[in-house]
Amino acid sequence: MRKRIGVVVAMASEAQSIMVELFGGGEVVTEQIPYRYVSDSVEIGVVVSGIGKVNAAAATSRLISEFEPEEVVVIGLSGALTEDLSVGDIVIADKVVQYDFDLRPLEKQLGQLPGRKSPYLTCDIRAIERWIKVATDLCANDGGTSREVRVGGVATGDRIVSDRRLKELILQGFPDVICVEMESGAVGQVCEANGVPFSIVRVISDFADDTFTVNEVTHYLSREGSRLIERFISSLGTE
């Protein structure tokens, strides 16, 4: 029996190389409709959510409802929060937090969702182990490219972080996080509500500070980021 894995990517540009590799080409549209790929051992449903937490939550809900995956993974770009990360490094999340969710004084901590003791959602340990192996193999066979694989927390919020002061505030509130993006916390929340394990793979595209420029991130995505994203998703087809 084939394993079903759901994949969430935010942008059509992140998914374009996936379409070529898995689906033989075609135009990618952000309609939150799962693209399906079937191999002998796995069925993959890829959904392009659109940027931000509401889009990500809506797309994940539809993915779970229509595709019924056994697990979900979010794959895409992110900004580095710690000084030891560089552009091109790979982050495998062990947990995720919505840094801009604040129910205080109803809850004790910033980022704490209703009814939870911790602000963090925990990623699936089996998926973490798989992604570490995939990332390590990818780095070892990537033509001499210097790339690091890190495991740590991911911060999610509904804004592009391009201000060092905000970056420092996120780290002050959540010292366990190492990168920041705009979807994974919402995906994790929907998955947890539906009893579906989830994981997060992020490629560092910028430093989440005053050096951020849209052109540089777009250039990195077109040059290398989308290729890495495609290789992670393609690895699922060999399970």
CATH, residue 227 = 3.40.50.1580
DSSP state for residue 75 in the 8-state scheme: E
Q: Is 8 inside any structural domain? A: yes
pLDDT of residue 211: 80
Cα separations in angstroms, 39 against 9, 43, 45, 230: 20, 6, 12, 16
Please tell me the predicted confidence (pLDDT) of residue 26.
Answer: 47
> Position of tokens 């191999």?
39
Q: Which domain holds residue 66?
A: 3-232
Domain membership of residue 125 (yes or no) is: yes
Residue 14 known to be catalytic: yes
- What pTM did the predictor assign? 0.89
pLDDT of amino acid 12: 76
Please indicate, yes or no, if residue 190 is contained in any of the structural domains: yes
pLDDT of residue 119: 95
Tell me what pLDDT residue 46 has: 85
**124 located within any domain:** yes
From first to last of its 239 residues, what are the pLDDT tens digits of the chain? 778 889 898 887 766 666 555 655 444 444 556 677 776 778 888 888 999 999 999 999 999 998 999 999 998 889 999 999 988 899 999 999 999 999 988 888 989 998 888 999 999 999 999 999 988 888 877 665 667 899 999 999 999 998 999 999 999 999 999 999 999 999 999 999 999 999 999 989 888 888 877 777 665 665 565 666 667 776 775 55
Distance (Å, rounded) from C-alpha 130 to C-alpha 147? 18
Half-sphere exposure of 186 (CA within 13 A, CB side): 23
**Does residue 239 sit within a domain?**
no
Measured in residues, the chain has a length of: 239
Are the C-beta atoms of residues 39 and 237 closer than 8 Å to each other?
yes
Q: Which of 43, 206, 216, 239 is catalytic?
A: 206
| Rounded distance between C-alpha atoms, residue 69 and residue 38, angstroms | 13
- 8 Å CB contact between 198 and 72: yes
Determine, yes or no, domain membership for 152. yes
Query: What's the domain count of the chain?
Result: 1
Q: Which residues contact 180 (CB under 8 A, 6 or more apart)?
A: 78, 79, 81, 99, 154, 155, 156, 157, 161, 167, 170, 208
